[in-house]
Amino acid sequence: MSLPAEIVEQAERLRGAINRHNHQYHSLDSPIISDVEFDQLFRELKSLEARYPGLVTEDSPTQRIGATPLSAFSQISHEMPMLSLENAFSEADLEDFERRIKARLGAFDVLEFVCEPKIDGVAISLLYVDGQLVRGATRGDGTTGEDVTQNVRTIESIPLRLQGEGWPRRLEVRGEIYIAKPTFHGINADAQARGEKLFANPRNVAAGSLRQLDSRLTAKRKLTMYCYSVGLVEGGELPPTQAGILQQLQDWGLRINPLVEVVQGAAMCRIYYEQILARRADLDYEIDGVVFKVNSMALQQRLGILTRTPRWAIAHKFPAEEGYTRLVDVEFQVGRTGAITPVARLEPVKIGGVTISNATLHNMDEVGRLGLKIGDRVLVQRAGDVIPKVVAVDQSQRPADARSINLPNHCPACGAEIVLVDGEVIARCSGGLFCSAQRKENIRHFASRLAMDIEGLGTKLVNQLVDEGLIASPADLYSLTESDLLGLDRMAPKSANNLLEAIEKSKATTMARFIYALGISEVGESTARNLALFFGDIDALRAANNELLQTVADIGPIVAEKILAFFHQQNNQKVIDELLAAGVHWQTEISTVDPTALTGQSWV
């Protein structure tokens, strides 16, 4: 059935308006209508397409939302390799770059360069055929990448169809996909509220989001893109300069960094570098340097490429941001898995526009490697521009009263013994089930599918239960009541009863699951199963010594030491007793231990 002409015209008018306003907002950063007005246009088009499904086109703005999840990414061979760039780290490197170009070209007074910030994101290749986006591919190894077309289509700053006219029949656009700093901080804030692991930096978020098999997840991450070059060009011509090409791409609706400049000579490149470095902290995206390219495309052709890098471009990298300050103290923090981490308390110092008063020292091996003492003048670096760390000590300015840094004997959170096993660099709290710093992770692990398998008890609910003071150890789960649960946010009677039934059901388990659920360091599913088969009884395991433990399959001295440390803690023993008293049970395993081997012996 043919569609009414006025309906087709209305849809085309709406798509055109939405695309124009998208271009104004994402490419030119100069919106001319409000968000409310834009949303109204979008809803109108979406409603029209819902009434007339035959109107929907692949390049319609409504088709950005995300498609059915993929099972895997297919491989894409780049028709023109996506090259790496040579790095410069000093003014001398930059001058040498210009000297080599002039030597290769012959007599040349002044070279013209295009300069732009080097965004710390993910390189992408976009292929447009007859003006329509048909493929998005990651850089990969430069010759082969992954097809991420579905995910690229969700990025609003990437036009599904080019604007204007005159584009080549086949045009490959290259650029950098990234996530803005405010968006990154928002994602991490949400993850923290849910008790989930935080992302280390915006680049990791961008890379992970672009490689989601479910493009609906990519759409939620609000990625964006700046274009910086072209690759394949067939069936058309582009301007003769790099700057001209960028301007042309912008005219076609693609987003170009507004900080792009054309300068003459390495000396002016250096000035640009200093200007961008000074503005770095104020930009809403992460950069790790600036890129300089010979502006003339004809000269780029003459200069050619080396095996992996072009001779006509270079990335002048910024030094990692760093500064000197004084180490005031060292405190020890307990991670959610019991890892003990020394944290430097510093005299506040401003680095990269951020005031730093704490920095990670990683572990005691790192403290020893640095030769660090409290009172030292230390060099602090924002590693990856995100996590501050101490990287060096100025021992020439060490005060006479500098104090040594020693690993404490007991956990600062629960008072349990701190264990450092030979051959490992990370010290751990042996408090296990009772340690307040490990509480949430221990309970979440206890309830997980491969452990006690308590359906419906996820991270968010565990956080609520602990924060409300309803549980402090896994044993407390078995004393929860319906009234306890109904006091929680968004907990209805049916949900409360379902959870209580799941907790009750978990009491009937296996010894292997129970051992795994205890969360003993280095004891995974396989080791838990071996222990259950070997001992057959939890009391026999609790009484075992190092020598006996090492006779169990796949258990060596390190794992044996960690098992002993766990059972040595009376608080862990107390929680186990409470779990058994609450009704946790299993059928007795067939033990491979000779019962007479334990007679008259005391295991410590």
SS (H, E, C) 537-594: CHHHHHHCCHHHHCCCCCCCHHHHHHHHHHHHCHHHHHHHHHHHHCCCECCCCCCCCC
How many domains does the structure of the chain reveal?
4
Are residues 518 and 577 both part of a single domain? yes
Amino acid at the residue 179: I
Q: Is the pLDDT of residue 302 over 50?
A: yes
Distance between CA atoms of residues 54 and 69, nearest Å: 24
Helix (H, G, I), strand (E, B) or coil at 147: strand
Residue 599 reports pLDDT greater than 50: no
The boundaries of the domain holding residue 13 are: 5-64
**Residue-averaged pLDDT of the chain:** 87
Using only C-alpha atoms, what is the Rg of the chain? 31
Per-residue pLDDT tens over the stretch 48-107 = 888 888 888 877 777 655 445 555 788 999 999 998 898 898 899 999 999 999 999 987
Which of 441 and 322 is assigned the larger pLDDT?
441
Residue 143 pLDDT: 87
Span 340-354, average pLDDT? 86
Residue 69 located in a structural domain: no
pLDDT value of residue 602: 35
Please identify which of the residues 102, 118, 494, 507 carries the catalytic annotation. 118
| Residue 147 sits in the same domain as residue 259 | yes
Q: Tens digits of per-residue pLDDT, 126-143?
A: 999 999 999 999 988 788
Task: Specify whether 210 is located in the same domain as 165.
Answer: yes
Is residue 373 annotated as part of the catalytic site, yes or no?
A: no
Q: What are phi and psi of 118, to 5 degrees?
A: -95, 100
Place of tokens 């003048």: 377
- Please check the confidence at residue 594 and state whether its pLDDT lies above 80: no
* Residue 48 forms part of a structural domain: yes
Q: Is residue 298 part of a domain?
A: yes
Q: Are residues 588 and 451 in the same domain?
A: yes
CATH number of the domain to which 161 belongs:
3.30.470.30
Q: 253 — alpha (psi -120 to 50), left (phi > 0) or beta?
A: left
Contact status, residue 161 vs residue 59, Cβ threshold 8 Å: yes
Let me know whether 343 and 475 are in one domain: no
Confidence bin at 603 (pLDDT 50/70/90): very low
Of 164-178, 314-328, 340-354, the range with the highest mean pLDDT is 164-178
Query: Which tokens belong to 135?
Result: 């493929």
Q: Of 63-72, 416-425, 436-445, 576-585, where does the model show the most confidence?
A: 576-585
CATH number at residue 578: 1.10.150.20
**Same domain, yes or no, for 277 and 350?**
no
Task: Determine the average pLDDT of the residues in 358-369.
Answer: 90
Over residues 531-547, the mean pLDDT reads 94
Domain shared by 136 and 60, yes or no: no
Which uninterrupted H or E stretch holds 360? strand 354-360
**How crowded is residue 485: how many other Cβ atoms within 10 Å of its Cβ?**
21
What's residue 347's pLDDT?
Answer: 95
> Does the residue 32 lie in any domain?
yes
Could you tell me if 246 and 382 lie in one domain? no
Distance CA 116, CA 273 (A): 9
What pLDDT, on a 0 to 100 scale, did the predictor assign at position 437? 82
Confirm if 562 and 419 have CB atoms less than 8 A apart: yes
Q: Is the pTM of this model over 0.75?
A: no
Mean pLDDT of all residues in 142-171: 92
Window from 5-14, 266-275, 308-317 with minimum mean pLDDT: 5-14
The CATH number given to whatever domain includes residue 360 is: 2.40.50.140
* Number of neighbouring beta carbons within 10 Å of residue 411: 25
Q: Are residues 174 and 52 in the same domain?
A: no
How many whole angstroms separate alpha carbon 168 and alpha carbon 238?
Answer: 8
Tokens read off for 104? 């290769």
Tell me, yes or no, whether 302 and 367 share the same domain.
no
Same domain, 38 and 117: no
SS3 category, 10: helix
279: confidence class by pLDDT, cuts 50, 70, 90: very high
Determine, yes or no, domain membership for 419: no
Lookup: tokens for 504: 């009750």
Residue 566 included in any domain: yes
Do 10 and 128 reside in the same domain of the chain?
Answer: no
Q: How far apart are CA 293 and CA 136, in angstroms?
A: 24
Q: What is the pLDDT of residue 596?
A: 38
In a domain, 37, yes or no: yes
Nearest residue to 151 (alpha-carbon basis) of 60, 221, 78, 204: 221
CA dist., res. 21 & res. 29, Å (int): 10
- Look at residue 581 and tell me whether its pLDDT is greater than 80: yes
In a domain, 80, yes or no: no
pLDDT at residue 37 greater than cutoff 80: no
Strand partners, 234: 170
Q: Residues of the chain with pLDDT > 90: what percent? A: 55
Name 569's bridge partners. none
pLDDT value of residue 39? 64
| Cα gap 153→169, rounded to integer Å | 20
CB 242 within 8 A of CB 93: no
Of 222-236, 367-381, 424-438, the least confident: 424-438
Supply the CATH number for residue 35's domain: 1.10.287.610
Provide the 3-class DSSP secondary structure of residue 334. Answer: strand
340 bridge partner residues? 334, 427
173-191: pLDDT as tens digits: 999 999 999 999 898 888 7
Q: Give the pLDDT confidence of 188-203 residue by residue, as tens digits.
A: 888 777 777 667 678 8
pLDDT band at 13 (very low <50, low <70, confident <90, very high): confident
